[in-house]
């Protein structure tokens, strides 16, 4: 039950006295900047934002918030499109100041705090010639990415981000700090590997690292009139792609206003062999641009950031397809083009290789067969008067693909209004997740975090 209260400093005085970090209320100068998420469309106004500096800050805030009956939400990187990092009139635990990364060379692991981004992790790991599976963008928080699964450019070789999670420290709904690993609370570790942010607040994570410095990657751009043919060739090519090669693809608009089809191959094996593996991609059509070159993995994940800057308005839909067929290719082109905005884009994440060889029941993430996960992103500037037009554009493509898609969807991209897709996304793992929820959060304290799950 939510308590009615007056939004002033006196109400939060006892909480503020417990903290090492900063307590921000709506009338504080720094509040609005702290409230801003990646998606500028999100206007949720928490009653308070607690910028935690220590695990003890998190524990104090959980206990105080629960004692006062207020809603609780958690912000890591702040990139969740649906805005679940904030709760209206609730308390937001903001981990964005807790971003330290420690590399253990003997164990070949990285320990990161709950607010660390992919950039934080990779800048530390690359000094030692190491990397792990991240998302495609540098700004995405590692905790949120991992809790949903974590697609990225190394998925074929190293699996999802969740597959590389070895342990985590979690503050539970009753304010206790527990460690989840193979020996302690292994059931919780299982749920954290793709089960969503439903069980507690992840304040630190340990990842497996892999020897990797340079990859072969870059955009291949094809004219729109060749998209159908290139998509057919691409669909055949990925069926036999080696683990070292993962190929996100999609439709984007260039800065010059030209809508194009793009492939973004990333090869993480020996570069000379990679050139031979990638050679067929250059024969699919008449390339407009070939930017493939050797690049550090850290630089690679920074390249996409410019396409989805913080503060723009976003609305995302998602569907996952076993592959492409004539009907789905037509749906993408006929329903998706032209874009409702020059900033919108459609991206297909390539799931295969190591990620597909993990058993369905080994982690909470259940879709373990080769597929393409489509991210259908409507994006527009804040001053645009046509918000509904952009939203409907994304919804229309999703609806056109739905008859050919796997049931459910990628939980990190599901909208708040798509709760009915969550059980389908987890499939045979859903009942086990419900049992885990009842064990670690029976009062459904963390219902506002990524991947809602009924208690």
Q: How many other β-carbons are positioned within 10 Å of the β-carbon of residue 1? A: 3
- Asked if residue 430 belongs to a domain, the reply is no
pLDDT of 122-145, one tens digit each? 999 999 999 999 999 999 999 999
Question: Is there a domain that residue 24 lies in?
Answer: yes
pLDDT value at position 171? 98
Tokens describing residue 212: 């990797």
pLDDT at 309 over 70: yes
SS (H, E, C) 254-318: CCCCCEEEEECCEECCCHHHHHHHHHHHHHCCCCCEECCEEEEHHHHHHHCHHHCCCCCEEEEEE
Least confident of 16-25, 245-254, 417-426: 417-426
> What average pLDDT does this structure show over 186-214?
97
Report the CATH number that the domain containing residue 205 is assigned in CATH: 3.30.465.10
Q: Are 375 and 334 found together in one domain?
A: yes
pLDDT surpasses 50 at 110? yes
Q: Which of 94, 116, 140 is the last residue of a domain?
A: 94
Residue 274 confidence (pLDDT) above 70? yes
2 class by beta-carbon count within 10 Å (0-12 exposed, 13-18 middle, 19+ buried)? exposed
Structure tokens belonging to residue 262: 């793009």
Burial of residue 36, with CB atoms counted within 10 A of its CB: 0-12 exposed, 13-18 middle, 19 or more buried? middle
- Average pLDDT, integer, range 69-79: 94
Residues 230 and 378 in one domain: yes
- Reported confidence tier of residue 154, pLDDT bands at 50, 70, 90: very high
pLDDT computed for residue 455 by the predictor: 54
- Both 346 and 365 in one domain: the answer is yes
What is the pLDDT confidence band of residue 4, given thresholds at 50, 70 and 90?
A: very low
Residue 51: what pLDDT? 98
Same domain? For 273 and 383 the reply is yes
Is the residue at 114 inside a domain?
yes
Q: Is the pLDDT of residue 346 over 60?
A: yes
Mean pLDDT of 148-173: 98
Q: Which residues contact 322 (CB under 8 A, 6 or more apart)?
A: 369, 370, 371, 406
Do 267 and 398 belong to one domain?
yes
Confidence of residue 453 (pLDDT cuts 50, 70, 90): low
Looking at the fold, whether 276 and 332 belong to one and the same domain comes out as yes
| Alpha carbon separation from 21 to 45, 57, 210, 398 (Å, rounded) | 20, 7, 34, 42
Q: What is the pLDDT of residues 364-378, one digit of tens each?
A: 999 999 999 999 999
Instruction: Please tell me the total count of domains within the chain.
Output: 3
* Residue 56: CATH number of its domain: 3.30.43.10
Confidence (pLDDT) at 416: 85
Are residues 250 and 187 both part of a single domain? no
4, 98, 276, 382, 428 from 190: Cα distances, Å: 37, 24, 38, 40, 14
Is there a domain that residue 447 lies in? no
Q: What is the DSSP string of 359-413?
A: -TTTSS----SSEEEEEEEEEE-TT-S-HHHHHHHHHHHHHHHGGGBPSS--GGG
In the predicted structure, residue 352 carries a pLDDT above the cut 60: yes
Beta strands in 27-148, from DSSP E residues, in sequence order: 48-51, 72-75, 91-94, 101-104, 109-113, 130-131
Q: How confident is the model at residue 7 (pLDDT cuts 50, 70, 90)?
A: low
Instruction: Give the pLDDT confidence score for residue 257 in this predicted structure.
Output: 93
Residues 191 and 43 in one domain: no
Q: Residue 221 is part of a domain; what is its CATH number?
A: 3.40.462.20
Instruction: State the maximum Cα–Cα separation within the chain, in Å, rounded to a whole number.
Output: 68
Are 154 and 278 within one domain?
Answer: no
- 203 and 348 together in one domain: no
Answer with the one of 66, 94, 122 that is the final residue of a domain: 94
Same domain assignment for residues 272 and 163: no
Q: Is residue 440 part of a domain?
A: no
Average pLDDT of the chain, as a whole number: 95
Are 48 and 91 in contact by the 8 Å Cβ rule? The answer is yes
Which pLDDT does position 452 carry in this prediction?
Answer: 54
Residue 183 has pLDDT above 60, yes or no: yes
Q: How confident is the model at residue 6 (pLDDT cuts 50, 70, 90)?
A: very low
- Is position 375 within any domain? yes
Tokens standing for 398? Answer: 């999703």
- The CA-atom distances, in angstroms, between 206 and each of 129, 328, 360, 431, 453 are 18, 39, 22, 27, 25
The answer to whether residue 448 scores a pLDDT higher than 80 is no
- Given this model, what pLDDT does residue 9 score? 78
How many residues can be counted in the chain? 455
Q: What share of the chain is helix, strand, coil (3-state, %, to 5)?
A: 35, 25, 45
Residue 161's pLDDT is what?
98
pLDDT band at 447 (very low <50, low <70, confident <90, very high): confident
83 and 105 fall within a common domain:
no
448 belongs to a structural domain: no
Domain presence at residue 313: yes
Q: What pTM does this model have?
A: 0.96
- The residue out of 70, 94, 118 marking a domain boundary is 94
pLDDT band at 1 (very low <50, low <70, confident <90, very high): very low
Quote the domain boundaries for residue 366.
Answer: 214-413
């Amino acid at each position: 039950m939510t308590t009615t209260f007056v939004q002033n400093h006196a109400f939060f005085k006892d909480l503020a006295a417990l903290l090492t970090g900063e307590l921000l209320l709506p009338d504080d100068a720094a509040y609005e900047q702290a409230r801003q998420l990646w998606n500028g469309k999100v206007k949720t106004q928490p009653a308070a934002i607690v910028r935690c500096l220590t695990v003890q800050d998190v524990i104090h805030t959980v206990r105080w918030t629960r004692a006062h009956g207020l809603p609780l939400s958690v912000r890591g990187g702040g990139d969740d499109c649906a805005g679940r990092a904030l709760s209206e009139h609730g308390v937001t635990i903001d981990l964005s100041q807790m971003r330290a990364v420690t590399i253990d060379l003997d164990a070949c692991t990285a320990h990161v705090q709950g607010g660390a981004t992919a950039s934080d992790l990779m800048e530390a790991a690359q000094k030692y010639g190491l990397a792990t599976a991240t998302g495609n963008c540098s700004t995405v928080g590692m905790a949120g990415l991992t809790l949903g699964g974590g697609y990225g450019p190394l998925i074929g070789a190293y699996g999802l981000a969740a597959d590389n999670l070895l342990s985590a420290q979690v503050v539970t709904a009753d304010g206790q700090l527990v460690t989840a690993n193979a020996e302690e609370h292994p059931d919780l570790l299982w749920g954290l590997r793709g089960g969503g942010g439903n069980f507690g607040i992840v304040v630190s994570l340990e990842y497996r690292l892999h020897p990797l410095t340079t990859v072969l990657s870059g955009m291949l751009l094809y004219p729109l009139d060749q998209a159908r043919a290139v998509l057919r060739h691409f669909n055949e090519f990925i069926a036999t792609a080696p683990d070292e090669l993962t190929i996100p693809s999609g439709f984007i608009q260039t800065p010059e206003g030209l809508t194009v089809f793009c492939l973004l191959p990333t090869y993480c094996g020996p570069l000379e062999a990679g050139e031979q593996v990638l050679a067929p991609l250059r024969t699919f059509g008449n390339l407009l641009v070939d930017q493939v070159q050797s690049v550090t993995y850290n630089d690679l994940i920074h390249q996409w950031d410019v396409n989805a800057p913080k503060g723009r308005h976003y609305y995302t839909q998602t569907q996952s397809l076993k592959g492409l067929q004539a009907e789905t290719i037509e749906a993408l082109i006929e329903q998706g083009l032209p874009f409702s905005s020059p900033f919108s884009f459609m991206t297909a994440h390539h799931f295969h290789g190591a990620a597909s060889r993990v058993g369905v029941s080994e982690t909470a993430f259940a879709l373990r067969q080769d597929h393409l996960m489509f991210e259908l992103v409507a994006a527009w500037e804040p001053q645009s008067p046509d918000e509904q037009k952009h939203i409907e554009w994304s919804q229309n493509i999703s609806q056109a693909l739905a008859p050919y898609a796997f049931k459910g969807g990628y939980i990190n991209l599901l909208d708040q209004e798509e709760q009915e897709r969550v059980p389908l996304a987890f499939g045979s793992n859903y009942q086990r997740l419900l049992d885990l929820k009842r064990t670690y959060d029976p009062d459904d304290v963390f219902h506002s975090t990524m991947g809602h799950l009924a208690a």
